[in-house]
Amino acid sequence: MKINVVYNKHIENYEDILSKIEKLLISKKIDFKSFELSKLANFGDFTIVIGGDGTLLRTARYYSEWQIPVLGINSGRLGFLSQSDDEEINFIIESIINNNFYTENRLMLTSIDRIALNDFVIKGCISSRTSKFYLEINNKEVCDYIADGLIVSTPTGSTAYGLSAGGPVVYPTMDAIVIVPICPHTLNARPLVVPSTEVISIKTADKLLSVSIDGYDTEKCVDKITIKSSDKKAVLAFLNSRNYYSILRDKLHWGISEAK
């Protein structure tokens, strides 16, 4: 096995975690190379990522080109996708070496020659005010939203911005696309979950749109955006001791009543 080790130099304590991983891999005679997030390259057949969810999103998009599994070691905040932490490094490396992990192929979305693993967030170019958005699916008019914006997300991204905006939690391996209005100015505006085969188009009465991809990359002032499923799938790796429902419970305190 050859391993890519990816780190984000802007994450606190990344050097300590990177050093631990590299020393362990050397001691176990595992072939590896380390790459800073801004200088990704393809060397191995498995990837370990040091950072938060943003680091993992960018890395998973990159390695989807070769269908290489990506496993995150969280050194950020919530770490919903980067589930393991630096206290488990020995266990993580042993699990990878012994194939004690499973992988999931995750749907990604594409538009304007960009790929999103979480979501596209669409707002008017005049960000200080609400806008009127026109939603079409497969070239058929669906509805108009007066809102601060629209989120078009994958099932993976349903627990990110979409959840905060009132969208549903969608099981991450489902073939579906979620459309969530941000702060809509009407009570009858509701999120939509549609098949992943649908083609979604959005325009605005303000003429121009601002689009952010996975919370970071931004395209400003386009007149229309068309979003569909990408042919590529991200491959995320998880330890066998993890499952999606335990993650919901641990990270989002799902189903845990408050102490009295």
Catalytic residue set: 53
Helix (H) or strand (E) holding 43: none
**How many other C-beta atoms are found inside a 10 Å radius of the C-beta of residue 93?**
19
> What CA–CA distance (Å, rounded) separates 111 from 118?
13
Give the alpha-carbon dihedral of 240, 246, 252, 255, to 10 degrees. 180
DSSP calls for 115-170: EESSEEEEEESSTTS-EEEEEEETTEEEEEEEESEEEEE-TGGGGTHHHHTTPPP-
One-letter identity of residue 142: V
Residues 6+ apart with CB under 8 A from 29: none
Nearest CA to 167 out of 158, 175, 177 is that of 158
Nearest CA to 32 out of 40, 21, 44, 24 is that of 44
Residues 6+ apart with CB under 8 A from 205: 131, 132, 133, 134
Residues 6+ apart with CB under 8 A from 146: 130, 131, 132, 133, 184, 185, 186
**How many other C-beta atoms are found inside a 10 Å radius of the C-beta of residue 183?**
12
The residue whose two tokens read 């990359």 is: 217
